[in-house]
Structure 1
């Protein structure tokens, strides 16, 4: 349901009791409370329960009810979007934290390897050694570029990899 129009006077129990029961069941459906008369104390009580709006039944025939319903539904959609964004933000922050830890762990050995390869390239003149060290250096540079992309990761979007496995696209 998008919305519940709750009357205060119901057979067997009142709208407040039903609203409390809905909340105990953690149902997050917006409720607009309807009553016959303007009762300030009742209005305050239902608003404390988190009711979206409080209307007197005589207002139902006016444009107030349709506007109220549209506003309540729109606020609910905005709350849902905000919740989705907050979850995505927390997920992205967790991913970024993981990436930072991984890159820190990889960075030191890579730096040491790169420095040693550069020293060997400068000191030794053997062609085969230069060829293989050049290949190692090129691969180290590729890894370093991937680490930079990991550190700059700004989204939690993934791409299809194999069957049900998804991974981050760092290409």
Structure 2
């Protein structure tokens, strides 16, 4: 499993897609492949009012990634140092086996390259001590990136606070 985790506070997300745009710009992607995406959920009636939520989806950088196991050329790899799953484009022959193997749809077809691309947490930026491009572009700061343990604790804390505030609210 990746040493890192990218978390979203769905309460803050406004569905502006700045993360998607920044990702595409950073990776020089044409229309088509989306390494991360905002999925709209709703609208649903919540407390009698229509509400829409936005969920940020990207590669999960699995502990035992099916895409890596399925790749016949070794192009789909996982870094031993931190568990980041990435594509070595010099080895990719465009067979799309990794696309079929991933249950989450993380590997995407790049028609201009004739190869597969996927989220790699902007590993080049991480190696420089920077955050992934999508995180830096988030207008509401709903995306956070860090060590898995730290991000899990933040998520637990956020959940505990929301439960506590709900229990103390009066309708």
Normalised-by-shorter TM-score class: under 0.3
- Choose 1 or 2 for highest CA Rg: 1
Instruction: Provide TM-score, normalisation by structure 1.
Output: 0.23
Q: Of Structure 1 and Structure 2, which has the larger fraction of its residues in helix?
A: 1
Query: What TM-score do the two structures reach when normalised by structure 2?
Result: 0.23
Task: Give 1 or 2: higher strand fraction.
Answer: 2
